[in-house]
Amino acid sequence: MVIVEVSLLSGFILTPGSRMLLQRKTIIKKTEVKADVVYIYLEKLSDESQTFILQLEQIIEMKNLKPANIKVYDYYQPEERALADYNAVCS
């Protein structure tokens, strides 16, 4: 099992409709939202490219918004991981 852990940008929340869109993808086993992190559980990864779109809603305006990070790792071997940062589209 593979986990995609998406830290949300400061002042943002995941829109309710975004979670429903994610669950429509057959590769996704389940999703969890805890505080400011979204966990996407995948059965496995392949060589095929995958795109996940999360719709976020800004609930608190923040100045100097810093990038948030995304981690992808194997549930059973968390040391096997990849990291990336992302920014708000409007920043």
- Residue 53's pLDDT is 83
Q: How many CB atoms lie within 10 A of CB 36?
A: 15
pLDDT surpasses 70 at 45: yes
pLDDT surpasses 60 at 91: no
68 DSSP assignment: E
Which domains are delineated in the chain?
2-86 (2.60.40.690)
Greater model confidence, 37 or 48: 37
How far is 91 from 24, CA to CA, in rounded Å? 29
Share of the chain above pLDDT 70, in %: 92
How far is 68 from 81, CA to CA, in rounded Å? 16
pLDDT surpasses 90 at 80: no
Average pLDDT, the chain: 87
